[in-house]
Amino acid sequence: MNPLKPLLEPVIQPVLNKATAIIPIHWQIKGAHAFQHAKNRVGRGRPVPTFKEVPLPEVSTLALQDIDLSNPFLYRQGLWHSYFKRLRDECPVHYQKHSPFGPFWSITRYEDILFVDTHHDLFSAEPIISIGPQPEGLEIETFIAMDPPKHDVQRQAVQGVVAPKNLAQMEALIRSRTADVLDQLPIDEPFDWVQKVSIELTSRMLATLFDFPFDQRHKLAYWSDVAAGAPESTGGNANTDEFFRAAADMAKQMSLLWREKEARKAAGEEPGFDLISLLLANDDTRDMINRPMEFMGNMVLLIIGGNDTTRNSMTGGVFALNQFPDEFTKLRKNPGLIPNMVSEIIRWQTPLAYMRRVAKQDVALNGQTIKKGDKVVMWYASGNRDERAFEQDPDQFIIDRKNVRKHLSFGFGVHRCMGNRLAEMQLRILWEEILKRFDHIEVLDEPGYVQSNFVRGYSTMNVKLSARH
Amino acid sequence: MGKITFVEHSGTAHIVEIAEGQSLMQTAIDNGVPGIDADCGGACACGTCHVILHSDWVQAAGSINADEQGMLGLTPEKTDASRLACQITVSEALDGLIVHLPEFQM
């Protein structure tokens, strides 16, 4: 961190904000990109780690201090489960000194995660919630990574769009779009569920929430993947140039959309119920476009929030029901279990592995002392498999599991997932419509997994459908 | 034994007995009152046991701490009489309490 930054920021910020009113955000991002290139050429840029996949060791062969949960291949190689279990049992508050992302604490038990998540007075969500930092030169501001009171103001401005009352009005639209996607699927021949169903449905939903041009909806999913895939943040494989290009393209399109809605509003048109119209209608956020990093931050947050999570739960549910075929039978016999199954899918998949915090003071937790300034990673994916918290074997997928709503996938406390009800509704409708049409969804081979320590996602999953008789 | 009345958004009322010392959330759950999710199980961490007290009872239910205030802030349907049911302890002093349930939990 530049020691001059706190001194210069109050001076630079108003200048930047003034510049923004004149210079479009995507030009500024291009400028930042060029600046970053120049900085890297003269060796002043922060080095970006690269990750090359090698087979990882069994956790039993490692010393505790060498266990590194930040490795972006743990999920793909199917080792995450044993790594988490060892730490839960032997060292539930664990310090890794030498990861590629620097030192960090891992919290792996359910109760400890709940403690950290609900104590925003002790643990800050700033400046970002991934293990590693954001790409240099493009540090966006988003309320998932803000503490109260600023967090509260920004979140309250947008949360209305996914309030249950509005969702009830959106249900019919979501159902018809889901039905449309499912009706076009081939029967008795292999296809990729991730592309044809999970990505397609979540892109449609995002386009609806943003009132984004429907024929360009796949850009939303693409931007989301790139934004979540920066190697220095999550160990992903997006490259820096791609990242900046995607950010510039997104800034351009989202600014245009914003300006268009602003103009329509100024002309006295009744505002729509999309996210941008809501931001324009709120006194605290109506001029957000003049604060580029905040504007980009909110757009990115809402796009990622509505994308990876639901997408991978849509795939994960099919995968889980194939691994636990008795549950598929149970579901066919009793579709009334769908709402509970949806929560179980979200628990079992845990589409985002963790959220990161920074200790605001020294905190004693489960026998360890976390020092002020230390990074703390709450591994939801581990807490959701904690035998101490779930009575029925947490590694089993049980669609009628008791008390499943206590799962950690949405987080707890002030940062609890804003779109949780929308996500649940999308998944519920998907499964209701699936059961009307198909007797079975057979997973044909091992799915492809995303490279990340953050997103627990599928890149491909080949399936075959049998029609309902 | 004192009584508490829960009124669903549809107007359906559920009259339940007071179990001294229990939370208002647990009282609803134990008596099968619908409309309270209580995802976090009473840790003041999810906001899904949101209730709206009858205006006569706001004082008697006690004060709201910062954590509860923060979680209530996440609910778009929050009113001046909103509370999280897990943060209210029931006692005979609340005999006659009327609690309205919101249309949805968030």
**Nearest residue in B to A156, CA atom:** B74
Tell me how close the Cα of A439 comes to any Cα of chain B, in angstroms. Answer: 32
Which band of pLDDT confidence, cut at 50, 70 and 90, is reported for residue A19? low
Average pLDDT over every residue of A429-448 = 97
B92 located within any domain: yes
**Rounded Cα–Cα distance for residues A461 and A445 (Å):** 7
ipTM above 0.85, yes or no: yes
Q: Which residue has the tokens 């994916």?
A: A381
Residue B74 contacts A where some CB pair is shorter than 8 Å: yes
Higher pLDDT, A92 or A230: A92
Which of A32-36, A272-276, B97-101 has the lowest average pLDDT?
A32-36
Structure tokens at B91: 């006692």
With 50 as the cut, is the pLDDT of residue A147 above it? yes
Domain count of chain B?
A: 1
Q: How many helices (H) and strands (E) does chain A have?
A: 18, 12
Could you tell me the CA-to-CA distances from A351 to A61, A220, A246, A458, B23 in Å, in that order? Answer: 28, 18, 23, 10, 33
Domain that holds residue B79: 3-100
Contact at CB, B67 and A118, closer than 8 angstroms = yes
Which band of pLDDT confidence, cut at 50, 70 and 90, is reported for residue A6? low
Cβ-based neighbours of A188, under 8 Å, separated by 6 or more: A464, A465, A466, A467
pLDDT at A17: 52
How many beta carbons lie within 10 A of that of residue A281, not counting itself? 14
B106 located within any domain: no
- Decide if B74 contacts B104 (C-beta within 8 A): no
pLDDT at A1: 44
Domains in chain A with CATH codes = 155-353+416-467 (1.10.630.10)
For chains A and B, count residue pairs whose Cβ atoms are closer than 8 Å: 58
Tell me the chain B residues in contact with residue A414 when contact means C-beta distances shorter than 8 Å. Answer: 70-71, 73-74
Any idea what the CATH number is for the domain that residue B40 is in? 3.10.20.30
**Rounded Cα–Cα distance for residues B72 and B64 (Å):** 10
pLDDT in tens, A357-394: 999 999 999 999 999 999 999 999 999 999 999 999 99
Contact at CB, B103 and A163, closer than 8 angstroms = no
